[in-house]
Chains A and B, each alone.
Chain A
Amino acid sequence: MRLQEEIRQFIVDTFLFGEDGGLKDDSSFLEEGIVDSTGILQLVSFLQDRYLISIEDAELIPDNLDSIGKVSAFVRNKRGTFDFEQEAAQALVPEPA
C-alpha cells in the first residue's frame, strides 16, 4: 500500500468509523472537525510507531499534520529516500491501534 493510501486508511478507520465521506487529500482535519487535538496525538503516535520516525514538538504544526497530503509529505520528508512501496510489499500493514 502506498504511503498516502495507508495514511488515508488510518484516518478513515480511526476517526470516521470506516466511512470516508468524501474525505479529500487536502481536507483540513482540524477545520473540518475530522480530527481533534487528542486525535492529533493519536495520529502522531501512529506515525512514530509505523514509520519509525521521531516527531519533535516544533514539528507539531498544521503544515505537517492537518491533512492526508500534508501528513504524507511530512512523513516522506522525514524518511528521506525510503522506498515505501518496496517496504509495503515486504511487510504486513498492522491494524491501527
Chain B
Amino acid sequence: MNGSTPFSRHLLHLNPELEVDRICRRIRELMLSQVKRRGLVVGLSGGIDSSVTAALAARALGTERVLGLEMPERHSAEESLRLSSSVAGTLGIQTVREEISDTLESVGFYRKYEDAVRQVVPEYGAGWKSKIVTSGITASATITAFSIVVQAPDGAQLKRRLPFKPYLEIVAATNFKQRIRKMLEYYHADRLHYAVAGTPNRLEYDQGFFVKLGDGAADLKPIAHLYKTQVYQVAEYLGIPEEIRRRRPTTDTYSLTQGQDEFYFSLPFDQMDLCLFGKNHAVPALEVAAALGITEQQVELVYRDIDVKRATTRYLHLPPLLVDRVEWQEE
C-alpha cells in the first residue's frame, strides 16, 4: 500500500478485466504444468464464489471443459438450485444434479444432528429448524461463544448457548455435508479425468472458514487471493446474474438461514475485508476504524481475532505431517 494513500474502501478496487485475464492465464498454466487434467469440476451453490469460480474456469479452459455440480439436500435454501441453474445457463456449462439427502441419511447425519441439538433443546425434532450463531466479538472483549437458534414448527424461536460436547457434535455432523459434496466432485472429476476447483475467497481461505477434506479440498483455488468485495467486482465483469450478486452471503448449511457473519466472521464481509486488508498492510486500527465508522477498539479486537483464527485453524491448511522427510519430495 502506498503510504500516502488514505485508507478507504477504494483500496480494494481492482481492474476486473486485467484480473480476470491474469487468473485465467494462471489457471491454464497450472493445469498444463502441474495438475495435468483435462477440465475442472466446480460445485455450484448458487452463491457468488462458486459462480465466479465456474465462470473463470469456463473462460480459462472453455465451457465444454467445465462441469458444474449441484448438490442440494433437504436443508438447502429453496433458491439455491434456481440460482445455480441460472448461472450455469448464463455460462453455458453442463451441470449434473446430485441430491445428497439420501447419502446424509445413510451416514446418520440427520439423526446425529438432531440428537446433538436435543442435548440443549430436548423438544427439538421433526418440523423444527436451527442454526448456530456466535456471540460476536465487537460488542465487548468477549471470548467467542456459540449458541444454537431453533425455530419450532409454529415459528417461535429460542436461543441457547452450546456447551462443548453438543457444539462439537453438531459441527462434526454438519461437516458431513461438505465432505459428501467433495466426494461427489471427485467422483465426477475422476470419471472425466478432470480436476476440482475450490471456491474459497481470501477471507475464507485466510481465516480457515472451511472444512478440512470438505470444501477445503481442491486441486486449485482460483479466487483464494481475492477479497470478497473484489469477488463481487469480478462477478459483475463476468456477467454473473444480478440476483446472485445481490444475495446476502450465507453458509447454506443449516436449516435456518445463517449469515457468514453470524457464524464465523466478526463483521459483515465488506468490513471484514477492510480489516483484513488493514491488518495485512499494518494499517493502524484508528485509520481503519475511521473508514468503517466503528471504534478503534473494535478494530483492534478484530485484528486480534484474525490472529486467533489464523492460529487455531492453521492445522486445516497442513498436509499430513511426517516424522521424517521422505527423500523424493520437493522442499
Binding site for B on A (CB under 8 A): 30, 33, 36-38, 40-42, 44-45, 48, 57-58, 60-62, 65, 97
Contacts and interface: CB of A to CB of B under 8 A. Distances in A.
Given A45-B163, A45-B164, A60-B135, A40 B312 contact: no
7 tightest CB-CB pairs across the interface, nearest first?
A36-B312, A45-B164, A41-B164, A42-B164, A60-B143, A45-B163, A37-B144
Q: How large is the interface on B (under 10, 10 to 19, 20 to 34, 35 or more residues)?
A: 10 to 19
Contacts of A38: 164, 167-168, 312
A30 B308 contact: yes
A39 B143 CA distance: 11
Contacts of B144: 37
B143 A61 contact: yes
Nearest to B312: A36
21 contacts: A30-B143, A30-B308, A33-B311, A36-B308, A36-B311, A36-B312, A38-B164, A38-B168, A38-B312, A40-B143, A41-B146, A41-B162, A41-B164, A41-B167, A45-B164, A45-B165, A48-B163, A57-B161, A58-B140, A60-B142, A65-B143
A92 to B, nearest CB: 22
A57 B141 contact: no
A37 B140 CA distance: 16
Interface of B: 135, 140-146, 161-165, 167-168, 308, 311-312
B140 A61 contact: yes
Contacts of B168: 38
Of A41, A62, A65, most buried by chain B (CB within 10 Å of CB) is A41
B128 to A, nearest CB: 23
B322 to A, nearest CB: 20
A34 B308 CA distance: 12
Contacts of A58: 140, 142
Given A41-B164, A41-B167, A57 B312 contact: no
A60 B142 CA distance: 6
Contacts of A41: 145-146, 162-164, 167
Nearest to B134: A37
A44 B141 contact: no
A44 B164 contact: yes
